[in-house]
Structure 1
Amino acid sequence: MTRLGWIIFGIILVAAGLFASMLSFGPTSPVGISPRMADALPFARERPGPGMLVIPVAGYPQGALRSSWGEARDGGERGHHGIDLMAAAGTSVVAAAGGRVEKLFESGDGGTTLYVRSPDAAWSYYYAHLAGYAPGVREGARVRAGDPIGYVGDSGNAGPGNTHLHFGVSRMRAGERWWQGEAVDPYPLLAGTAAGR
């Protein structure tokens, strides 16, 4: 082989090595999510990106996410089991993940609320303090991540003018209904790599 042939062969080998280094073989998890968490959350392998869920307020900047999990509420009588996303009244609320609208509910605390159950029934996504539902949203309707489902409001115990979305995530066991389940901190599921900062 000529010297030029060896040079071309070397360039091809280097290019092939660089290409192979960009490939991933075997199970992986989304950026910033531990493999243990990814194994515990089935949707983690289905949704790539910085977070495993879509931020459920349209246009909400990922860098503005702040965890309020466990903060005292009602004078310290209970802890906060969700994340509050402050936004202007009427801002579009979108599905954080795909699933089926399981329940539309008027609650004293949550006001106008909506529950979406994941396709495998293992997760429930809770949207509270809504001003109303998006057109076509009804119990049993299928939604995809990013679909409009409602509007930011101040219903329930949010307080007049305190417009925000309270978003919660619950791990569901077989047979559990929309109001049941084990609450899970939604912040790392929305923030991804930002959660470690």
Structure 2
Amino acid sequence: MRPEPWHEGPTSLDLLRGADWAWIGLRSADGLHRLHSDLLVALDRLFIDLRWSGVRRLVLSGAAWMAGGGGHFSAGADLHEVGALDPGSADPFSRRGQRVMSHLLWPGWRTLTLISGVAMGGGCDLALHGQERWAAGDGLRLAHPAAKHGILTGFGGTVRLPEVLGPEGAARLFRGFETWEAEEALAAGAIHRIVPAAAAREAVLAWLASGAPQR
């Protein structure tokens, strides 16, 4: 069982399919998996396709985990693209991100984000929109430093983070600019489980096969 390329771009998508489940992997040359506009459009279309095809369990991670590797989850929106936005282009850009995030919360399926390495800004938003959230391996850096740059991408983090972390936890990320490692993220409720890197692939496949939450 091998993943197949589904979208090619600055950040690409690989897809591993089962009868009623799917595992989506983010892949990029620099390993930071930035959320470019073309990727958001591709993810939106892929999520719709998977929903209509009967997928009921979905995992999103860096593509390397499909082969038992590691790497980063996502460094967030491309700051060069964000810096070029104007009032006319900023709204559709943020709406693309919001559509992607909302798919992960669709109640017709169960979603898991496998978070590792860097998960910052829009990548933090994406990670925390998983209905279940695991940290894989060591070296997690979960943060939302966008306000340091005077920007807010509008992907839904200002709504989702307080839901997951409570007002105090969300303020620690948004206003306190904290960066959380796996144990801190677990204590704050950002993740449900820490999985050793060597066991991550098999744990994900077991979750996909069973359909039952594992915490």
Give the TM-score, by structure 2 length. 0.25
The higher relative CO (CA closer than 8 Å, separation ≥ 6) is in 1
Larger of the two Rg values belongs to structure:
1
More strand by proportion, 1 or 2? 1
More helix by proportion, 1 or 2? 2
